Copies of this chain bind each other. A is one copy, B any other.
Amino acid sequence: MTVQKTLAGSPVGAPADADPELAALYQGFHRENLIPLWTEIGDLMPPHPRPRAVPYLWRWRDGLLPMARKAGELVPVGRGGERRAIALANPGLGGAPFATPTLWAAVQYLNPGEDAPVHRHTQNAFRFVVEGEGVWTVVNGDPVAMRRGDFLPQAGWNWHGHHNVSDAPMAWIDGLDIPFQHYVGSTFFEPGPEQVETRAAPPLSRSERLWGHPGLRPLSHLGPVPATPLLAYRWEHTDRALTDQLALEAEGYPATVEAGHAAVRYVNPATGGDVLPTIRAEIHRLVPGTRTAPRKQTGSAVCQVFDGAGEISVGDESWRAERGDLFAVPSWHSLTIATESGLDLFLFTDAPMLEKLHQDRAEAGEAR
């Protein structure tokens, strides 16, 4: 029989058109909305992950930022479009506005005096500010200042809008689990007022005043808190934590992930775990002259150079990246970072999805 040979010869054989019985069978499959595994298994169940997403770098200074500025001139923000956000579209994902299969990353831009209208959605989100200040995001009525280096998570189904109280436009990045929720079908959305509910612009949000004291939990809030109640992780703390790790390393104590490589994970102070149910976020600092050991893992990531510059290598791609540049790391692609002058890297991943569902696997190579 033809197909036996075909199968033996090529694991993912197409059906032999020559055999009329077989052809009828395949037509039957098609008619009945059935697809045989044996023609698909090579793609579906490869020896190791073979993601469609590709390694890709988006430039900040000469790409994202001028694009966002131009959009700021031409495109209004408001009801309907909701946000002046421009998404990174991974070239491997067939035109979808997704940085990786699970993660959304966008640059958002707000002109002086503008309001991004209030809404809520089940998508988990965060903002990270690579430069600028002057925008307040108002989450459930709590105004949260956004400044360079701040990480501002906001779990699903909280009302939020932004407004720019300064006299300069501001750009930042948004990270969300839009692709994942689109994929599993868990997405709800509800519009709110056109303008944020308060113009107050305090330096600290109420969330920070309640939850931002290290190791201290308010007794008024002892119930379960699946996503972080802390709406701002300020750069001054992050910077000090990284600085301290490197100082401890220099004093001879284990504090860094590898020599010259400090890193912190943003965590939910009520659990010590990831800030959001679906998204992990971290910031890494490499001292000048550092090269990380290559590492690959299941699941995907998006990274942004927060400061400095370096050579990034993802799978077979490599780029020189500098402040603001963003890149995507597909599943099971080895990531290495090297820097002559020092580098701070922000990154977010879908690791909680992989870990909670026992799909995480990692492989670390040797540093060269």
Contact = CB atoms under 8 A, between A and B. Distances in A.
A316 interface: no
Interface stretch (A127-135, A160-168, A187-195, A303-311): A187-195
Contacts of A222: 265
B84 A38 contact: yes
Nearest to A7: B80
Interface in A160-213: 178, 180-190, 206, 209-213
Contacts of A79: 7-8, 11
Contact of A1 (B21, B28, B74, B189): B74
B218 A7 contact: no
Nearest to A263: B219
Assembly stoichiometry (copies): 4
Interface in A69-116: 70-71, 74-76, 78-91, 95-97, 101-102, 106
A22 B359 CA distance: 43
Given A88-B33, A215-B233, A298 B241 contact: no
A13 to B, nearest CB: 7
B210 A87 contact: no
Nearest to A240: B213
Contacts of A264: 213, 216-219
Nearest to A332: B185
B38 A83 contact: yes
Interface stretch (A269-277, A317-325, A337-345): A269-277
Nearest to A34: B86
Most buried by B among A45, A121, A277: A45
A293 interface: no
Nearest to A190: B47
Nearest to A33: B89
A256 interface: yes
Given A209-B247, A241-B216, A245-B210, A41 B82 contact: yes
Contacts of A352: 357
A32 to B, nearest CB: 5
A219 B284 CA distance: 9
A88 B34 contact: yes
B35 A97 contact: yes
B215 A228 contact: yes
A204 to B, nearest CB: 9
Contact of A241 (B50, B213, B228): B213
A106 B218 contact: no
Contact of A32 (B40, B63, B206, B354): B63
A123 interface: yes
Contacts of A284: 219
A215 B186 contact: no
Interface string A251-287: 1011111000001111111111001011000101000
A356 interface: yes
Contact of A265 (B187, B216, B233, B358): B216
A9 to B, nearest CB: 8
A336 interface: no
A144 interface: no
27 contacts: A4-B76, A7-B78, A7-B81, A8-B78, A8-B80, A22-B75, A33-B88, A35-B87, A38-B81, A38-B84, A44-B187, A45-B187, A47-B190, A102-B183, A184-B359, A186-B298, A206-B248, A209-B247, A212-B215, A213-B241, A216-B237, A218-B263, A219-B282, A220-B254, A277-B358, A353-B357, A357-B357
